Structure 1
Amino acid sequence: MDAAPARRALTGAMSTPAGPTGLSERALGPDLARGFMLLFIALANSHYFVYSDRVFGGFPTDGSAPDRVVGLLISTFVDGRAFPMFGVLFGYGVAQIVRRQRESGKDWWPIRKLLWRRALVLIVLGFLHAMLLYIGDILAAYGVLLFLGVWALRWKDRWLFIVAAFVLILTSLPSEDSLATSSDAADPAMLPPHFLGQFADRIVVQPSIAGLGWIGFVTPFLIGVWAGRRRILERPAQHLTLLRTTALVGLTIAVVGALPVSLVVGGVLTRPSDHALSVLGPLHDATGVFGGFGYAALIVLIARRVGDRQGPVSLAIAAVGQRSLTCYLSQSVVWAVAFTPYLLDLSRTLTTTTTALLAVTTWLATVLLADRMRRANYRGPFELLIRRITYQPRRTAATLSRNSGNRA
């Protein structure tokens, strides 16, 4: 009699479902990277709210000299570089979930269903986020990516790299629509003039963002899955050469690849021809993928140097990473209040520089908020929501039904 099936059956019978990683068990590196990532995302989103008659690559080109300098810096170091880092960390987190579930004895089919539940939560949250707060939502796109990417989790490493390289090359091909040349602030889906009208405008745009936006995140997601399998960000001491090389080469490629566009944003170079832009735009985005890898590696190396000497600053930023979903949505509340025409309507008042300052201030506020939650040993409302639905769907459904009955 073959003992292997019996062992698997015994393991499955004795195993208990693995929940999310406890806060005390989390490695500093990935959380610190997620915390800084939200600063980059805030800066990457901020300039799209500034109204201007002349826009290039999402940046107003008729601002002051400080505005052009700030635009150059954001275009070089942040734009198209923050979201790939998000993709890497997202893929890494998915690999962590899979590893914990497999170690608890679960087979692949229950793991797929768990991840599909998580994907659906992201899609629903992303839809509500886009409708109510910010049309530039990325949660739904990541939900779609996870829903489809579940099938890649059993691929061998070489297929992860092959598909990642193929998609990167595909998205690097010339595109006539790669750089925006008109003001996003004039778009009613971005800044709706009326509360009720925003739903009619956004319901048309959001499905295309969610349905197509995930394509650009495939490459960092797959590389993140590969890195998660090897726990590279959690065990940097075992991968120092790889991390140092990735940080140096990745950030160098990202900066050099950004310069043709960022120098135009900064007013150093004149606007190239449309044909040149069809090449430079995808180049800017493709090299940004390497920047996402580089930033993740650099921050993990910094976390390694911090080691056990964690001070209040590193703990607070890591707390943001542990509550990244709540902090990300909190940013959108600020954008909605500050820039929506029927609220404060500051898109014609603030500049590229002052919106960047608002972005940094907003991030610092989330750092203070997350640190307060850390001290209270509270995960965060949206982290609790997604974990309950992902890991305890029956209990969550029963609770919702019971609460509904009590209200009735």
Structure 2
Amino acid sequence: MCMTTTVLEAPVRQSERSLAPDLARGAMLLFIALANAANFAFAGQPGIDPAPHGLQRLVNFFMATFVDSRAYPVFAVMFGYGLVQLARRNGNRVLLRRNAALVAFGLAHATLLYFGDFLGAYGVVGIIATLLLVRRGDRLHRVVLWLWGFQTLYAVVLAVTAFAGAHGGTAGVSNSPNPSLAAESYGRSLLDRLAEWPVHTATVLPFIVIVWLGIWAARRRVLEDPAAHRGLLRHTAAWSLGLSTLGAVPYALICAGLVHAAPGTVEAMARVHAVTGEYGGPGYVALFGLAALRLGGRAPRVLAPVVALGQRSLSGYLLQSVCWLALFSPWALNLNGTWTAALAAVAVWAGSALVAQAMSERGYRGPAETLLRKFAYR
């Protein structure tokens, strides 16, 4: 399958947008908010109360099963998908400028707001993908399906090994501290983030395999024409979300305080949880593709704010970090706790969706999107 390119060097028009990608980005920003707000609230990862009580157990179980390590792969798939959409309309120069700008955005975001930035990593992966992957033929892109096949086999072996070596004990989940989140002043947190961001970025770069899967899907226009790929979307949603959920449940039970195990067993279940979390990316994306198909490609009024936020996902993502810094930093409001984090995440996400809808009705793009376009298209 060849990828035809019409070099216009101009951003995509509103009328050319597909529903599924915008709906997926807008909705999944809620999960990103839940994960990052909890990270701030507990000043560490995974951002879970190690001694939950009552309904906190349910929140911990939900977070570990459906959110942690399962939200960011959605954006990785969509990033790869978007690279192909941009490549069809623009030359490599636009893609390279855009991804270089993402690296700069990431550095600013990580330095000023939050070490757990993904924008810089997206920029680096985007440059690599533009140079080596996006315009290559089908024979090369079939490799990514084999890579996911091998990873699935590895996930199964990892899970079997973890269960075979499981032992009971008294250990639970503990948060790995992030100094910048516990810093007593903004200046101290800024210095800590400068040290934390490069390490974090290096550890997440392997998600290029998830991005590559998005490239493969975009070359087949899976989300632009979900009706023609209904079977693929159904099977992907069922198998990917099934594997993601099954791989998460043992660790989720530990996070909820319903199961205790030996420290080694907790670590083994955490590894299974992380590896199977990558399947949340294609699984959730396929689910939103099916939802767009069911909606006939047009969002009902109740979903309009979510779609508007998805069209301004970069601005929404950066706004979230500003809110978490103000709400949870020890030198600011210093809020904490499971319920505070969850309620703040929902409130900030809902508020940003309403603001995005108001901007959409007035024909305004997001400020971050506008700035990124200026870099990319000059």
Distance, in Å, in 1 between the alignment partners of 2:79 and 2:45 is 30
Q: 1:382 aligns with which of 357, 368, 371?
A: 368
Give matches, 1:155-304, under 5 Å.
156-164=140-148, 182-184=174-176, 187-215=178-206, 217-270=207-260, 272-304=261-293
Which residue in the other structure is 1:3 paired with? none
Which residue in the other structure is 1:23 paired with? 14
Distance, in Å, in 2 between the alignment partners of 1:58 and 1:338 is 15
Counterpart of 2:127, as a letter, is F
Q: TM-score, normalised by structure 1?
A: 0.82
Runs (5+) with no aligned partner, structure 2: 163-170
Moved over 3 A (4+): 55-58, 162-174, 179-184
Q: CA 1:382–1:51 in 2, change beyond 3 Å: closer, same or farther?
A: closer
Q: CA 1:19–1:365 in 2, change beyond 3 Å: closer, same or farther?
A: same
Distance, in Å, in 2 between the alignment partners of 1:305 and 1:370 is 24
Matched, 1:86 2:66: no
Q: CA 1:334–1:276 in 2, change beyond 3 Å: closer, same or farther?
A: same
Q: 2:359 aligns with which of 365, 368, 373?
A: 373
Deviations 1:63-109 (A, max 9, x none): 321112101011101111101111111100001111223xxxxxxxx
Counterpart of 2:143, as a letter, is W
Q: How large is the Cα RMSD of the aligned pairs?
A: 2.7
Which residue in the other structure is 1:353 paired with? 339
Distance, in Å, in 2 between the alignment partners of 1:370 and 1:388 is 20
Q: CA 1:324–1:180 in 2, change beyond 3 Å: closer, same or farther?
A: farther
Q: CA 1:297–1:317 in 2, change beyond 3 Å: closer, same or farther?
A: same
Distance, in Å, in 1 between the alignment partners of 2:172 and 2:122 is 23
Q: CA 1:56–1:366 in 2, change beyond 3 Å: closer, same or farther?
A: closer
Q: Kindly, what percent of the aligned residue pairs are identical?
A: 38
Tell me, yes or no, if the aligned pair for 2:33 and 2:349 is still in contact at 8 Å: yes
Tell me, yes or no, if the aligned pair for 2:10 and 2:377 is still in contact at 8 Å: yes
Q: CA 1:209–1:172 in 2, change beyond 3 Å: closer, same or farther?
A: farther
Distance, in Å, in 1 between the alignment partners of 2:298 and 2:194 is 48
Q: CA 1:291–1:345 in 2, change beyond 3 Å: closer, same or farther?
A: same
Distance, in Å, in 1 between the alignment partners of 2:120 and 2:155 is 20
Q: 2:321 is paired with a residue of what secondary structure?
A: helix
Matched, 1:313 2:269: no
Tell me, yes or no, if the aligned pair for 1:46 and 1:355 is still in contact at 8 Å: yes
Q: 1:129 aligns with which of 109, 121, 129?
A: 109
User: What is the CA-CA distance between 1:16 and the residue it aligns to?
Assistant: 5.5
Aligned residues: 361
User: What is the CA-CA distance between 1:365 and the residue it aligns to?
Assistant: 0.6
User: What is the CA-CA distance between 1:280 and the residue it aligns to?
Assistant: 1.9
Counterpart of 1:243, as a letter, is L
Counterpart of 2:374, as a letter, is R
Tell me, yes or no, if the aligned pair for 2:19 and 2:297 is still in contact at 8 Å: no
Tell me, yes or no, if the aligned pair for 1:189 and 1:198 is still in contact at 8 Å: yes
Tell me, yes or no, if the aligned pair for 1:125 and 1:139 is still in contact at 8 Å: yes
User: What is the CA-CA distance between 1:172 and the residue it aligns to?
Assistant: 9.2
Tell me, yes or no, if the aligned pair for 1:90 and 1:224 is still in contact at 8 Å: yes
Tell me, yes or no, if the aligned pair for 2:46 and 2:175 is still in contact at 8 Å: no
Tell me, yes or no, if the aligned pair for 1:172 and 1:286 is still in contact at 8 Å: no
Distance, in Å, in 1 between the alignment partners of 2:241 and 2:377 is 37
Q: CA 1:162–1:249 in 2, change beyond 3 Å: closer, same or farther?
A: closer
Distance, in Å, in 2 between the alignment partners of 1:38 and 1:119 is 21
User: What is the CA-CA distance between 1:237 and the residue it aligns to?
Assistant: 0.4
Q: CA 1:166–1:256 in 2, change beyond 3 Å: closer, same or farther?
A: closer
Q: CA 1:218–1:16 in 2, change beyond 3 Å: closer, same or farther?
A: closer
Counterpart of 2:345, as a letter, is A
Tell me, yes or no, if the aligned pair for 2:29 and 2:313 is still in contact at 8 Å: yes
Q: 1:64 is paired with a residue of what secondary structure?
A: coil
